[in-house]
Structure 1
């Protein structure tokens, strides 16, 4: 859309994060509680434990970077900072 081109003309992709629900044993669960710390409602089930995942895709909808396996309690900023420290360039 040409209306938005001036804002995105030098953009090569998009970064976003999401929480993926998981199950784990009771003694390992605490760090995986999501950032709300309460049950989140999903269409399919209730969940409070998750992995925090950050992905980058290009405008062809191809994934160009994935950072997964983070505990649900990890902030988005922590996940991004780790990626930047590992050589990911924004």
Structure 2
């Protein structure tokens, strides 16, 4: 809240949305759509995270080959999913794999975006790159939250519990 790089520009941001691929145990006859780019079965799991490093929503049943926008739009349109739509005037940060629409703010396309691009010593230049750098820095909260759960080996268990409750 007190960091001038983010305030007042992102004052209405309430969290971030992203997906993560997690290894899955799938019966051999059902594995094909779950085979990811690394050649092993996995699930594409989407989550919403707030800035207190808490998951506020998770969707944990999509095959690994499903695109982030497909998972997102399905959760958004499914009244049974309890997707946490942002309140009026608020928004979530999303990455380039998600649609740009009211309540969901992505980066400028065609500009440097990911934090490693800025770690190579070049400072962001121009309004769009400065915005993208701040956007990526703020959005890293969800990457870190995924990392904590994966490191502790609890992410798989959490996602299975969420999946079981939604079935």
Common topology (TM > 0.5): yes
Q: What residue in structure 1 maps to residue 68 of structure 2?
A: 76
- In the TM superposition, residue 48 of structure 1 has moved relative to its aligned partner by 2.0
Q: What residue in structure 2 maps to residue 7 of structure 1?
A: 9
Give the one of 11, 28, 33 matched to 2:35: 33
Q: What residue in structure 1 maps to residue 21 of structure 2?
A: 19
Instruction: Give the structure with higher Rg (CA).
Output: 2
Instruction: Give the secondary structure class of the aligned counterpart of 1:5.
Output: coil
TM-score (norm 2): 0.44
Mapping 1:41-56, distance limit 5 Å? 48-56=40-48
**Two-structure CA RMSD over aligned residues (Å):** 1.5
- Are residue 59 (structure 1) and residue 51 (structure 2) matched? yes
Instruction: Give the secondary structure class of the aligned counterpart of 2:33.
Output: helix
Q: Following TM superposition, where does structure 1 have runs of at least 4 consecutive aligned residues deviating by more than 4 angstroms?
A: none
| Higher fraction of strand | 1
| Residues 35-78 of structure 1: per-residue CA shift (max 9 Å, x gap) | x3xx2xxxxxxx52100000101111111110111111111011
CA distance in 2, matches of 1:26, 1:86: 29
Instruction: Give the secondary structure class of the aligned counterpart of 2:26.
Output: coil
Instruction: Give the secondary structure class of the aligned counterpart of 2:13.
Output: coil
The higher-RCO structure (CA 8 Å, 6+ apart) is 1
Could you list the runs of 5+ residues in structure 2 that have no partner in the other structure? Answer: 86-102, 104-167
Q: What residue in structure 1 maps to residue 126 of structure 2?
A: none
| Higher fraction of helix | 2
Q: What residue in structure 1 maps to residue 138 of structure 2?
A: none
CA distance in 1, matches of 2:59, 2:26: 20
Tell me how many residue pairs correspond in the alignment.
80
| Residues 2-48 of structure 1: per-residue CA shift (max 9 Å, x gap) | 222233100011111100012323211101012x3xx2xxxxxxx52
